[in-house]
Structure 1
Amino acid sequence: MSSSDLTRVGHWVNNKAFPGTSGRAAAVTNPATGAVSREVALAHVADARTVIEAAAAAFPAWRDTSLAKRTAIVFRFRELLNERKDELAAIITSEHGKVLSDALGEVTRGQEVVEFACGIPHLLKGGFSGNASTEVDVFSTRQPLGVVGIIAPFNFPAMVPMWFFPIAIASGNTVVLKPSEKAPSAALWLAELWAEAGLPAGVFNVLQGDKAAVDELLSHRSVKGVSFVGSTPIAEYVYATGTAHGKRVQALGGAKNHAVILPDADLDLAADAMVNAGFGSAGERCMAISAVVAVGGVADELIAKISERAKKIRTGDGTRGCDMGPLVTAAHRDKVASYVDKAEQEGATLVLDGREVEADGGKDGFWLGPTIIDNVTTEMSCYRDEIFGPVLSVLRVESYEDALELINSNPYGNGTAIFTNDGGAARRFHNEVEVGMVGINVPIPVPMAYYSFGGWKNSLFGDTHAHGTEGVHFFTRGKVVTTRWQDPSHGGLNLGFPQTTA
């Protein structure tokens, strides 16, 4: 198929499609077949400025729109999304490759933040102190930033943007979403849904592209805040560049998530959890468990149980009822496989080799099956790096203290879990571990929408986590107003410093 025969995924500006003027484009593939299914426009600076300036022009009117009307539009969006979420899930599967049930789960988790944002009038309430000083009242309010950029990753093309834009829009900001060029179509579907829900033109916009689009979002004077989710090196770049240009930035980076299995744990439940958390979405989750820390001699039995379950996983096309889909691109599949190669060279034991998988899908699909590596040490590349694929590494330690030291010494601090029937051990762990999100007998501790999502250390750049109260605070600025209303007879000069005791 020639490029002239392909559907081109473009930008979205002022509630309508905008093809862009750059002439640049990139291929979008179906990971289950390896075939190029469409192409996506890649913006140059002029395209990016067109999109950003539309958002800037729409901001004053949207900021001044009543909370009641803003909330009604968000709620209408929520209703439409609920009615048509299967459509969005199918788009995600076609471009990312995850199975349909997983794609639908992604949409559902994103929708939780939409529902949270429906309560924005309560979340934006300020405080009031009457007669703080004689005939002086003081009140606080939270106001939107202005234009905000969202730079989303390929692995959750719907959920991750929905961590941010429902709160940003409900709070009175206008949005420019820059989706991954690997999975660009979900963003346009969401944009069309916002328009159908009654969102005014220019409030939600989509800017397709690569680094040129990102750099313009990070440097354009009209953009006041940027939210990013992706790998740690890029998160560092986004944070450094955005803050250097005066932006408020929250940049969620990479992860190396550990699960500690104590000797008293139910090993059947733990094995189920490790398979679900390690191989769901082909391991392409920032909250995936990639390092199993087996404590005090449980490793052999635990690995046997995990391997038994992993061998039953059906890898294939996400539309065929399989358990696990392909990786997102051929290049990424090859990169993940190279870590398996290196682990063998470095002396690890390969328990289950996903490179040999027989997938139920196209022969040119980007396949790699569940992989289990035993006897991994902290010096090995399969442990040091975030692999972002269906590879589970097992590290053996003697004690709880050894497990805790291993996790706390890791440069990442995104998510972690402990499996135990000992309440004291669990309480000690969540108190002592240096990680932002902790699960106790829960392998993927992604918080509900009314809490906030984010890690510690090299998993987060910036002080504010996503969604929840911290998300509301990120997309708004606090203001305190002091008022006095007196009749003219109380005028006159007084050069003394104002005193609240007056």
Structure 2
Amino acid sequence: MRELHHFVNGQSVSGTSERFADVYDPNTGEVQARVSLATPSELDSAVQAAVNAQPAWAATNPQKRARVMFEFKRLLEANMDELAHMLSAEHGKVIADSVGDVQRGLEVIEFACGIPHLLKGEYTEGAGPGIDVYSMRQPLGVTAGITPFNFPAMIPMWMFGVSIACGNTFILKPSEKDPSVPMRLAELFLEAGAPEGVLNVVNGDKEVVDAILDHADIKAVSFVGSSDIAQYVYSRGTANGKRVQAMGGAKNHGIILPDADMDQVVKDIVGAAYGSAGERCMALPVAVPVGKKTADEFVERMIAEARALKVGVSTDKDAHYGPVVSAAHKEKVENYIQMGVDEGADLLLDGRGHTLQGHENGYFIGPSLFDNVKPGMKTYDEEIFGPVLQVVRAETLEEAAELPSKHQYGNGVALFTRNGQAAREFASKVNVGMVGINVPIPVPVAYHSFSGWKRSAFGDHNQYGMDGVRFCTKVKTVTQRWPEGDIGDQSFIIPTMR
């Protein structure tokens, strides 16, 4: 049985806890590996390696740090096929989706290659008599990231790419469900020229998460996961004096106006709702057609489109999506489907009981579709995180826009229309962090920032982009004067700009 341990100070390190978690193949339900679950003392060893490496890494000039990022980017591209197959084998995504996972992380690494420009401070000459003022961005020290199962390549690179480029060292705690890709990323980062101890990977469960949140030498923590855990991470981490950015769950809406291009709408929403088996915080699990005619047409066409989807093993090039990540998650999603029936929504497509010949024990769920879902239903209020699309009907754009604006989550929303004025006003007023206009999954490009609102995000800074740089650095401002001769008693007076 293959065993995965930790990556500390530039080398694979065997775990000492004698606690392991099983890593499954979602296509078959079989255990394919075991991953060691670290103790607080093992985390402490990784943190010490990061503490030891950080001063020299911070003193490395930004251009040399950028060269490591450029080489890491090259290695990611060269090893894309290996990473995608490794990812699919543990997560269950189809290969094309896994390539996208790696690619979106790579784009943040590309952004981090510009770190010499991104770290430039501000300068004011002659702010007062003979006084100049300038600011500089300096690294925090040791930072950490706690990442979810659904994007085992992209989200770690969101976090460590920017942080390390800024001169910090990093502790990554990936999901124990699919830990192989994060370990491989650490190996490639070392191969790219990063010094030992700059990027460390510690596998574990809640015990090591709590140890990260309590560790005095970890100055900042990034997190992506469910909202309840995000709030817990934010509360405990900030109580210990850390900077924390914690991204939570989502319930993204796609509002369809009567003038929308229905061909494009159906194509976009079927991919956004069911792609990656719905296991994306920026999936689009709620469609809101405006008006009965629009709703009836959308539902009829979506039933046909969803029925045509092929659910297959992750290596099937013709499959639209593969299994969900675990047996427990499959059970959770299927329980939500039953809950929707019990709440009175109309189940038009039922994906429960979906099996593949030869893979009867795999974690497959067919596409499910509900109509006439209402706010207040638990299945609407909560995140299902599976291949389930819910249709909530609205009579007007104002009624439709209230749904995402009042929902507890505020990650993303999409509006489908040909009306530029309506789109502009909607984008300005809707109470959601990321808006797509005829774009079903509005995840920002790497040089902007991922900006969820409400219970989708806890903390004052967003992930990656310039907000990521701000999160990973502290600003120091210097006011300097080079006087001529004796300064006399003026040294006891607070300097002013008069």
TM range (shorter): over 0.9
After TM superposition, the structure 1 = structure 2 runs for residues 346-425 of structure 1, keeping only pairs within 5 Å, are: 346-359=343-356, 362-425=359-422
The answer to whether the Cα contact below 8 Å between 2:288 and 2:394 also exists between their aligned partners in 1 is yes
Could you report, residue by residue, the CA deviation over 1:66-101 in whole angstroms, capped at 9, with x for unpaired residues? Answer: 112111111110111111111111111011000000
CA contact (8 A) 1:32 1:361 kept: no
Residue of 342, 346, 369 corresponding to 1:345? 342
Contact 2:349/2:369, CA 8 A, preserved across alignment: yes
Task: Quote the offset at 1:360 in angstroms.
Answer: 5.9
Matched, 1:236 2:231: yes
1:311 corresponds to 2:296: no
Q: Does 1:248 align with 2:243?
A: yes
**What secondary structure, in the 3-state scheme, does the structure 2 residue paired with 1:355 have?**
coil
What is the distance in 1 between the residues matched to 2:128 and 2:405?
50
Distance 2:371 2:388 in 1: 11
Out of 252, 255, 263, the residue aligned to residue 260 of structure 1 is: 255
SS, match of residue 285 in structure 2? strand
- Cα deviations by residue, 1:13-32 (Å, 9 ceiling, x for unpaired): 11100112111101000000
What residue identity is the alignment partner of 1:29? Y
Q: Counterparts in 2 of 1:321-340, with a 5 A limit?
A: 321=317, 322-340=319-337
SS in structure 1 of the partner of residue 393 of structure 2:
strand
Aligned 8 A contact 2:17 2:37 in 1: yes
Q: In 2, Cα distance between the equivalents of 1:228 and 1:496?
A: 45
Equivalent in the alignment of 1:148: 143
Asked if the contact 1:260–1:295 (Cα under 8 Å) also holds between the matched residues in 2, the reply is yes
Query: Given the two structures, how large is their TM-score scaled by the length of structure 1?
Result: 0.97
- The answer to whether the 8 Å contact 1:315/1:360 transfers is no
State whether residues 226 and 248 of structure 1, in contact with CA within 8 Å, keep that contact through their aligned partners in structure 2.
yes
Select the residue among 471, 479, 483 that pairs with 2:480. Answer: 483
- Report SS of the residue matched to 2:34: strand
State the shift of 1:485 in Å.
2.4
8 A Cα contact 2:311 2:322, kept in partner: yes
Residue of structure 1 equivalent to 2:59? 64
Query: SS at the partner of 1:396?
Result: coil
Partner letter of residue 79 of structure 1? R
Deviation of residue 491 (structure 1)?
A: 3.5
My pick for the range that moved more, 264-273 or 469-478, is 264-273
Counterpart Cα distance in 1 of 2:301 and 2:263: 7
CA contact (8 A) 1:164 1:466 kept: yes
2:27 paired residue number: 32
If the length of structure 2 is used for normalisation, what is the TM-score? 0.98
Which deviations, in whole Å up to 9, do the C-alpha atoms of 1:91-145 show, x marking residues without a partner? 1101100000000011111111000000001000011122322222211100011
Corresponding residue for 1:107?
Answer: 102
**Which amino acid in the other structure matches residue 226 of structure 1?**
V
Say how many residue pairs are matched. 495
- After superposition, give the CA deviation of every residue in 1:365-421 in whole Å (9 maximum; x if it has no partner): 001011101111112222111000000000111111111112211111000001111
Cα contact 1:52–1:223 (8 A) shared by 2 = yes
| 1:152 counterpart letter in structure 2 | T
What does residue 425 of structure 2 align with?
428
Q: CA deviation at 1:306?
A: 1.0
Q: Give the drift of 1:361.
A: 5.7
1:279 and 2:268 aligned: no
| Structure 2 letter corresponding to 1:290 | P
Q: Is the 8 A contact 1:317 1:361 kept in 2?
A: no
* Higher deviation after alignment, 312-321 or 323-332: 312-321
CA contact (8 A) 1:25 1:41 kept: yes
Check whether the contact 1:317–1:360 (CA below 8 A) recurs between aligned residues.
Answer: no
Aligned counterpart for 1:135 among listed residues 126, 130, 134: 130
Name the structure 2 match of 1:74.
Answer: 69
Aligned pairs for 1:152-231 (under 5 A) are: 152-231=147-226
Q: 1:323 and 1:403 mapped to 2: Cα distance? A: 29
Q: Aligned partner of 2:147: which letter?
A: A
User: Is 1:83 aligned to 2:78, yes or no?
Assistant: yes
Quote the residue 1:301 is aligned against.
297
- Distance in 2 (CA, whole Å) between partners of 1:99 and 1:446 is 20
Match of 1:439 in 2: 436
**Is the deviation greater in 30-39 or in 260-269?**
260-269
Amino acid aligned to 1:312: A
Give the whole-Å Cα distance in 2 for the aligned partners of 1:64 and 1:254: 38
1:448-485 alpha-carbon deviations (Å, 9 max, x no partner): 00000021111000011111110110000111011222
Instruction: Show CA shifts across 1:187-222 (max 9, x none).
Output: 110010011111001000001000111111111000
| Change over 3 Å in CA distance of 1:363–1:169 after alignment to 2 | same
- Deviation, 1:490, is 2.3
Counterpart-to-counterpart distance in 1, 2:13 and 2:172? 14
Structure 1's unaligned 5+ residue stretches are 1-5
Equivalent-residue separation in structure 1 for 2:175 and 2:265 (angstroms): 34
